[in-house]
Every structure is written in C-alpha cells, then in structure tokens.
Chain A
C-alpha cells in the first residue's frame, strides 16, 4: 500500500513557464515533507521541505505548498529551466519518532528550451 503517491509519471514544460509537481499521502501521522531531485546515475539531492505546521515554504524558484486537509502537497518551480529536467521525488516522515522517509515513485520533469 503506497503511503506517498505521485500520480504523474512525467511532466513536460516549456522553459520560463511554471512546473507544478503533485504528491498525495495517506498516512495522517506524517508531519514533515520533502522534495528531492534526482539525475540519472546520481543520488537524490534535497531541494526543499515543509513542516506540517506550515502551508507554504519558499526557496528561490522553488515553493512547496501543503494542504493537510486534502493530504496533498505540491512543488512549484518558476521559472522552469532546462537544468531542472530530472526526476522529482516527494517524501514524508513522521509518527515513528525518527527521520525515516517514505518516498513516492517520482515524476520525471522535462523542461524544453
């Protein structure tokens, strides 16, 4: 049973436009959410996180929104750049007292020039 779901396997966006990546979760004990970016043959790189006490966190071109009632979070990238093309993983932790993460399957973002 997948507790973190990324329902879009891929997303194509033009350079300069907004990329919106979505993530849903089922476990109401999750209280910390993260986005990681991964290039082929490399490890995941931490992008941005949000605690359940907030509904928005912004870092440069990246903004994460959290809707706890809907158990939904999204990552906005604006403006999108070709270098943003990668697989983006949503992850969540909480309820266990430590930082083990549960990941979604990822969304491959392709930003075309």
Chain B
C-alpha cells in the first residue's frame, strides 16, 4: 500500500494520559502535514514538517502538543496530558518534495482519539 499510513486508527485515552499518533507519508513524499477535525467542524491545519524540520506550526496549540518527523521512521504527533477537548479525528497528509504552493496533498485514513 503506497498511501499515507496512519496508526492507530482508534485510540482511547484517559484524561491526563499521553497520546501518540504516527504517520508514514506516501512513498516519495518528504513533506508531512497534520490536520485536526473536531466534531461538526472542517479540517484545521496544525503543523507542516519536513524531515527533521518543523516548517510551520502556526496551527498547533501552544501547550501539550508537539510533532516531529525524524530522519528515520514515521512522523509523530504527541499530545501530553490529554483533555476531553482533544477528542477529534487527526489526519496526516503528505506531498511531494516540491517547495512551492500548488501541490496536491494526500491524506491518510485518520486517527480517532477519544479522551474519557
């Protein structure tokens, strides 16, 4: 499967625990994006990463959220001390190695986080 791979698909965490969501981009893609969809809302940009670099994190909450895309391995979105309001679908997307606008980005199937 050459698509964007996300895991886990579903994750349940108690308040105060940590959530880690993983994303492997499409083959040949080196740009990764994380989006969040809250209930009844559209997709909101969170962060844009290239290998070992955070390019734009303007959509990330200031606290508890972090993202990385190491040289080896998947991109990880980490949420510390989760609260009920973090319950959402988190989508990862990737695009080719072209530093310009006008690229189509391709999404994974999403990770659904439920905080109880």
Contact = CB atoms under 8 A, between A and B. Distances in A.
B104 A98 contact: no
A23 B102 CA distance: 18
A89 B56 CA distance: 22
Chain A interface main SS type = loop
For chain A, give the interface size range: 20 to 34
B87 interface: no
B102 A31 contact: yes
B17 interface: no
Nearest to B109: A43
A96 interface: yes
B102 A100 contact: no
Contacts of B69: none
Nearest to B91: A43
A99 B101 contact: yes
A34 B42 contact: no
B43 A89 contact: yes
Interface of B: 4, 6, 31, 33, 35, 41-45, 48, 55-56, 91, 95, 98-110, 112
